[in-house]
Structure 1
Amino acid sequence: MKLKKYADLPIRLTVGFHLIYGTQDNIFSWDRMIEFRDFLDLFGMPFPLVSAVISVYAQFICGLLFIIGWQARIAGLIMIVNFIFAILLVHLNDPYPNIYPAISMLAGAAFIALNGVGYFSIDELIKKVTVK
């Protein structure tokens, strides 16, 4: 199985892209961040502005880390926590099609946290450099 070392790549790229795509508007527009804060406030999230900023930046940064394959296990753990909160506090009563994106992100984060990253990653490059 020579291709197995690349098995994580489609998951890392897909999940990472989705995390960045889904948060970039909040990163680059304070008005969108305020909308997200108001959304979280509707669900009784404590400290909705702080929660919004932490969630958005965590998703954006972890998305980048997934794509480049650096510290991806830690990023995966952070996203597991983020999406468990999202599912339990916001999406729990949603119909399945509406909850599916959060479940997919949770599953992708769990895969990365449990398996790490493969051959094509910064982590692997660092390992090769430090072993020599």
Structure 2
Amino acid sequence: MHPLLNLAPLSRGADLALMLVRLTLGAFLIYGVWDNIVRAERMDEFTGFLAKFGFPAPAFMARLSVWAQFLCGAAFVLGLGTRWAGLVCAFNFIVAIAMVDHHQGVRGSFASACLVVVGLYLATHGPGRFALDRLLDRPRQDQGHA
């Protein structure tokens, strides 16, 4: 098939597109929890929300979820620890679906489901070329080829 018919030239932008996915997801996660980090009353509201849905140790779980999302977001933005952050992100939002979002049906679970899928994608594919993970891996890769 002719490369223009299947848009093969677009594959040259794959690493840039992956970086944009990481940056967008990371910024979204950080934005979504920043108020819980800087305002105690917002963390208390989130704790009450988790208690309402039957989470064990809601104060601990609220802090765990908020900090997990913040650290995953920072990891995605930097491209550092991306595979681990992808797994943590996916797990966090699987719990969100299981404990909360499923009550709202498919539409109510969609955002969390997207975060699970993108987290799993990043966990399995890595951060791409434009990431600190790539820079930190380079010396080991060079030694392995010597």
TM-score band, normalised by the shorter chain? over 0.9
Structure 2 gaps of 5+ residues are: 1-10
d(CA) in 2 for partners of 1:17, 1:107: 17
Among 46, 53, 71, the alignment partner of 1:61 is 71
d(CA) in 1 for partners of 2:35, 2:15: 33
1:7 and 1:118 in contact (8 A); partners too: no
d(CA) in 1 for partners of 2:45, 2:118: 26
* TM-score, scaled relative to structure 1: 0.93
Among 96, 100, 103, the alignment partner of 2:113 is 103
Deviates more, 1:10-19 or 1:82-91: 10-19
Q: Which secondary structure state, in structure 2, belongs to the residue aligned with residue 73 of structure 1?
A: helix
Write the letter of the residue equivalent to 1:86: A
Higher Cα radius of gyration? 2
Among 22, 32, 47, the alignment partner of 2:42 is 32
d(CA) in 1 for partners of 2:12, 2:24: 22
* TM-score, scaled relative to structure 2: 0.84
Output one character per residue of 1:58-87: Cα deviation in whole Å (capped at 9) or x when no partner: 000110000110001001111111111000
Deviates more, 1:47-56 or 1:117-126: 117-126
d(CA) in 2 for partners of 1:84, 1:99: 10
**Identical-pair percentage:** 36
d(CA) in 2 for partners of 1:4, 1:39: 39
* Pair 1:127-2:134 in alignment: no
Higher relative contact order (CA closer than 8 Å, sequence separation 6+)? 1
Structure 1 gaps of 5+ residues are: none
Query: Hey, which bits of structure 1, 4+ residues long, moved more than 4 A?
Result: none
For the aligned residue pairs, the C-alpha RMSD in angstroms reads 1.4
